[in-house]
């Protein structure tokens, strides 16, 4: 369980997060959505420890982790897939998966993680995580590194961005599986209806404020364009 | 050979020495072991230190090891090795130098290697430089590599200096005829007050000649590195020079690129990027549970791999 209490984050006189209070429970799948620049990624980075709030506290299963480093939080079970995955020079996909699992995993294990995100595994294990990978490939590898950690709090920042429609279905199944089997908290930042569909709860962030939180039916009129909304209502 | 010798050799060549078709091991200025094959001949030079290596035409796959080890403090060893690679031949050459210096006098090895590649020959050249020892005596290595490439030949050169060399000036020259390819990967890590300079002079003389030089350097503590490249395009040719440097502590890296296109069809590119480890790379690895030091080490290890 993750709890955010009175989180504020201001930069250049702009309130990026304005007194956020939020509880994310185990075994639930949350979707965080909202306009560009509303503070979604910042919120995720504050949970991972990449950004530090100006005030407020973060609790993991009741323990205050506000002053813990990124690595400490990672080792307590928080995992975060970046919106814009990082490229390296010389570090391979296999290396990253080994770091992620903290084990000397076999190539077979590595392949299992890559297949989950729809990559033809053998082709990718030894690739360098550098400029030669396409945006979509990089994004999938990023997701694989987080799934491989089996975190108790898994955060994915726009996982489906840059992934083609065809593969999106499969990726969607990965998240469905997470939703169905996962013991911990899953937080996915997304604008995709398909992901919103899976979510137990949707959180809508606007200008650094949580303006609404609820299940899909509660949220429908707020998020989805009116036409689609009507169609849905008519058919259901 | 004693234990120190064996360990030095292993640092330079690895453990598969015996697999080679031709071998010449040089210790403290003298050849101590030699092996030749019906296709690969090694002859000592008459007029100066060093050897001539002849690879016959059409040798499909040959492995040549010519490591140098120095364990004597205060020795300056200058050696001239010439490689003549026959037409259509394909060989792997492993060279390099390990210095063990426990005393206070400087030890130095200057290897001048010249490669003459005949038409359509192919060479993979791996060179590793390594220094160790507790003494205050410097370990100095100054390799010069000259590469002369006839039409259709190709050469791939990997040079690695990872540890313990106090001073180095490495000079690499290339002259490329038609349809040749020269690929060079250089990796240097310096620490303490090490100084390393690396200079590349490559002339692309033939149509269809190309070169790709990648230099990766990590300068830590109070060390200094300098990278200089001078590439001349005289024909329809392609060159890509990449210099990447990572800085730690007070490390300094200077890159001096010079590219000179003398033909309208020459396409020469130079890229240089020097800076400390990208913050986001550290963040990503830390988010996988590595602490800052582990993340840094992993990034540098990957970079120099
Ligand atoms: N360190 C910072 N310094 C200054 N401004 C920042 C900083 N971090 C974020 N911002 C600003 O805060 C706002 C929220 O950024 P954030 O990345 O959290 O948005 P987002 O909701 O994830 O947007 P998107 O949907 O485009 O990914 C943006 O206006 C951004 O420019
Ligand atoms: Mg974002």
Q: What is the 3-state secondary structure (H, E, C) of A153-182?
A: EEEEECCCCCCCHHHHHHHHHHHHHHHHHC
A66 within domain boundaries: yes
Domain span at A69: 2-82+153-223
A83 Cα to the center of ligand 2, angstroms: 6
On chain A, the residues whose CB falls within 8 A of the CB of B275 are none
Return the exposure string of B52-78: e unless at least 16 CB atoms fall within 10 Å of the residue's CB, then b.
bbbbbeebeebbbbbbbbbbbbebebe
> According to the model, what pLDDT value does residue A229 have?
41
Q: Is residue A206 part of a domain?
A: yes
CA distance B302 to chain A (A): 4
Give the largest Cα separation in chain B, rounded. Answer: 61
CA-nearest residue, atom 6 of ligand 1 = A11
* Max CA pair span of chain A: 54
- CB A148 within 8 Å of CB A101: yes
Q: Is residue B289 part of a domain?
A: no
Residues with CB under 6 A from ligand 1: A 11-12, 16, 34, 36-42, 83
Domain that holds residue B48: 3-279
Is position A215 within any domain? yes
CATH number at residue A57: 3.40.50.300
Secondary structure E strands in B45-89: 50-55, 62-70, 76-85
How many H helices and E strands in chain A?
10, 10
Beta strands in chain A (DSSP E): 2-11, 14-24, 29-33, 55-60, 63-64, 78-81, 153-157, 185-189, 201-206, 209-214
Nearest to B238 by CA among B277, B283, B269: B269
Q: For residue A88, is it within any domain?
A: no
In a domain, B304, yes or no: no
pLDDT tens for the 305 residues of chain B, in order = 888 888 888 888 886 777 899 999 999 989 999 999 999 999 999 999 999 999 999 999 999 999 999 998 888 989 999 999 999 999 999 998 988 888 888 888 899 999 999 999 999 999 998 888 888 888 999 999 999 999 999 999 999 998 889 999 999 999 999 999 999 999 999 999 999 999 999 999 999 999 999 999 999 999 999 999 999 999 999 999 999 999 999 999 999 989 999 999 999 999 999 999 999 999 999 999 999 999 999 999 999 98
Number of independent structural domains in chain A:
1
Residue B84 placed within a domain: yes
- Which positions in chain A touch B216 (Cβ < 8 Å)? 89-90
* Residue among B85, B216, B102 nearest B161 (CA): B216
Is A6 part of any domain?
A: yes
Residues A123-137 pLDDT 10s: 899 999 999 999 889
Question: Which of the residues A89, A93, A131, A145 would you substitute to probe the B interface, choosing the one with the greatest number of B C-beta atoms within 10 Å?
Answer: A89
Contact of B233 with B262, CB cutoff 8 Å: yes
What does R_g of chain A's alpha carbons equal in angstroms? 18
Rounded to two decimals, what is the model's pTM?
Answer: 0.87
Q: Which two tokens stand for residue A103?
A: 């084990």
Mean pLDDT along residues A85-90 = 94
Distance CA A107, CA A98 (A): 10
Q: Which residues contact B297 (CB under 8 A, 6 or more apart)?
A: none
Q: Which atom of ligand 1 has the smallest separation from the CA of A83?
A: 27
More confident residue, A175 or B172: B172
Q: How many domains does chain B have?
A: 1
């Amino acid at each position: 369980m993750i709890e955010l209490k009175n989180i504020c984050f201001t930069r250049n006189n702009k309130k990026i997060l304005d007194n956020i209070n939020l509880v994310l429970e185990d075994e639930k799948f949350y979707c965080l959505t909202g306009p560009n620049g509303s503070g979604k990624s910042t919120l995720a980075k504050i949970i991972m420890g990449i950004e530090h709030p100006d005030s407020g506290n973060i609790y993991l299963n009741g323990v205050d982790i506000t002053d813990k480093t990124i690595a400490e939080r990672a080792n307590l079970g928080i995992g975060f897939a970046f919106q814009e995955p990082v490229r390296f020079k010389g570090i391979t996909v296999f290396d990253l998966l080994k770091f992620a699992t903290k084990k000397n995993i076999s190539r077979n294990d590595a392949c299992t993680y890559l297949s989950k995100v729809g990559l033809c595994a053998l082709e990718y294990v030894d690739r360098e995580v550098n400029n030669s990978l396409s945006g979509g490939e990089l994004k999938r590898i990023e997701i694989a590194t987080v799934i491989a950690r089996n975190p108790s709090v898994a955060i994915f920042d726009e996982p489906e961005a840059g992934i083609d429609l065809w593969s999106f279905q499969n990726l969607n199944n990965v998240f469905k599986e997470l939703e169905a089997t996962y013991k911990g908290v899953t937080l996915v930042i997304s604008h995709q209806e398909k992901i919103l569909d899976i979510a137990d709860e949707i959180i809508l962030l606007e200008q650094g404020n949580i303006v609404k939180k609820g299940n899909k039916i509660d949220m429908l009129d707020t998020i989805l364009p009116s036409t689609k909304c009507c169609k849905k209502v008519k058919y259901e | 050979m004693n234990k120190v010798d064996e360990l030095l050799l292993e640092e330079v060549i690895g453990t598969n020495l015996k697999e080679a078709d031709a071998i010449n091991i040089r210790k403290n200025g003298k050849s101590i072991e030699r092996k030749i094959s019906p296709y690969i001949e090694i002859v000592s030079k008459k007029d100066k230190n060093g050897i001539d290596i002849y690879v016959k035409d059409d040798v499909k796959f040959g492995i040549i090891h010519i490591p140098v080890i120095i364990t004597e403090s205060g020795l300056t060893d200058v050696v001239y090795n010439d490689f003549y690679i026959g037409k259509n031949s394909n060989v792997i050459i492993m060279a390099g130098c390990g210095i063990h210096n426990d005393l206070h006098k400087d030890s130095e090895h200057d290897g001048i290697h010249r490669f003459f590649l005949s038409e359509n020959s192919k060479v993979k050249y791996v060179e590793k430089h390594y220094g160790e020892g507790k003494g205050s005596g410097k370990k100095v290595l100054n390799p010069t590599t000259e590469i002369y490439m006839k039409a259709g030949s190709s050469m791939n050169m990997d040079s690695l200096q990872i540890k313990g060399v106090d001073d180095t000036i490495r000079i690499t020259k290339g002259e490329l005829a038609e349809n040749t390819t020269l690929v060079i990967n250089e990796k240097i890590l310096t620490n303490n007050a090490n100084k390393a300079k690396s200079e590349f002079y490559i002339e692309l003389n033939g149509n269809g000649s190309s070169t790709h030089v990648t230099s990766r350097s990590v300068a830590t503590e109070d060390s200094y590195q300098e990278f200089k490249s001078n590439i001349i395009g005289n024909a329809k040719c392609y060159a890509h020079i990449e210099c990447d440097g990572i800085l730690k502590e007070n490390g300094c890296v200077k890159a001096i690129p010079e590219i000179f296109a003398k033909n309208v069809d020459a396409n020469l590119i130079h890229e240089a990027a020097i800076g400390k480890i990208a913050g986001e790379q550290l963040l990503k690895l830390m988010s996988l549970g590595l602490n800052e030091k582990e993340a840094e080490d992993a990034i540098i290890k990957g970079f120099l791999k």
